[in-house]
Amino acid sequence: MADKIVLHGMGSPNVIKVVMMLEECGLDYELRHVAVFAQEQFDPAFLALNPLGKVPVLEDPQLGVPLAESGAILHWLAEREGRFLPSGQPERAEVMQWLMVQMANYGPMLGQFTHFNLVPAGSQPYAHARYGAIAERLNQVLDARLEGREWLAGDAYSIADIATQPWAWYVERHGFDPAAFPRLVAWRERIAQRPAVQRALARAEDAFSQPAEQTRKAASDADLDRFFGRSEKVPQTDYSIVRNM
Ligand SMILES: N[C@@H](CCC(=O)N[C@@H](CS)C(=O)NCC(=O)O)C(=O)O
């Protein structure tokens, strides 16, 4: 294990949230790009860090084992630093609830909607409609939760906000009208103004943008099949949209 904190990742929301937390805590860390479009997540060396073959993975000498799953990483860093997770109840339990809402619902469902928006363009109307409706409903739930509240849980900015905010940029990317979710959008913009968030985005851009774009454009159909979890049981699709994004 390295002698300083290393975060393995790419420029995706599940990674960005951890970079935001590292910056909020003022920790010293290194970002290492994992070329997921070139199947690097399936290298034995990476699978030894996370058998799921997914980023982010945090290596922190203070923990001593590699840690995967962005919610678990945020929770570890909050405990390590004693920040962004209230110590008193019920605030602590509520922060964990909204962190889990992001991990179990907002991230996975928006991820599915992104997939069916992008990849088999127009060929999966049922899946597109299903995940679109779920994404809309989740945006509504978060928007309602933020009525009369500054933060998702408790009375301070927490790991629940940090986990959720990078996913809230999908409102427009998914074709929803931001005016339909005014509280969600205002909360998202408020968080975006934080200096730590701006530093995090700049660090992630520096470390991940160029290598990710190069490997995405160069990806073969076999690379993208593996990235999207497509096997011979799933119909072949046209990946030109992904390469030309
Ligand atoms: N629940 C996991 C999800 C991790 C995840 O899906 N990571 C994506 C990038 S955001 C990934 O590594 N994709 C590469 C692959 O699936 O091959 C977390 O929150 O950390």
pLDDT, one tens digit per residue, over 205-232 is 999 999 999 999 999 989 988 888 888 7
For residue 235, name the pLDDT band (cuts at 50, 70, 90).
Answer: confident
What distance in angstroms lies between residue 102's CA and the mean position of ligand 1's atoms? 14
pLDDT cut 90: percent of the chain above it: 82
Confidence grade of residue 125 (pLDDT, cut at 50, 70, 90): confident
Kindly state the average pLDDT of the residues 11-33: 98
- Tell me which residue of 215, 200, 207, 160 sits closest to 8, measured CA to CA: 207
What is the Å distance from ligand 1's center to 10 Cα?
9
Task: Give the per-residue pLDDT at 237.
Answer: 77
Please, how many CA atoms are within 13 Å of residue 18, restricted to the half-sphere of its CB? 32
Q: How far apart are CA 206 and CA 145, in angstroms?
A: 34
Return the best residue to mutate from 10, 12, 14, 112 for the ligand 1 pocket (most ligand atoms within 8 A of CB): 14
Give the number of the atom of ligand 1 that is nearest the alpha carbon of residue 71.
19
pLDDT at 1: 79
Q: How far is the CA of 148 from the centre of ligand 1 (A)?
A: 33
| Predicted local confidence at residue 123, as pLDDT | 63
- Predicted confidence at residue 145, as pLDDT, reads 98
Instruction: Note the pLDDT of residue 4.
Output: 95
131, amino acid identity? Y
Q: Could you give all domains of the chain from N- to C-terminal order, each with its CATH number?
A: 5-83+196-243 (3.40.30.10), 91-193 (1.20.1050.10)
pLDDT at position 120 is 61
Q: What is the whole-number distance in angstroms between the Cα of residue 228 and the centre of ligand 1?
A: 11
Q: Is the pLDDT of residue 236 over 80?
A: no
Can you tell me which atom of ligand 1 is nearest the CA of 13?
A: 10
Average pLDDT over the chain, rounded to an integer: 94
At 227 the pLDDT is 87
Atom of ligand 1 nearest to the CA of 34: 12
Among protein residues, the one with the nearest Cα to ligand 1's atom 6 is: 54
- Ligand 1 touching residue 41 (CB < 6 A): yes
pLDDT at 121: 56
**pLDDT, average across residues 3-17:** 97
Structure tokens of 89? 């109840």
**39 Cβ below 6 A of ligand 1:** no
C-alpha distances (whole Å) from 38 to each of 52, 211, 212, 238, 241 are 16, 10, 9, 18, 17
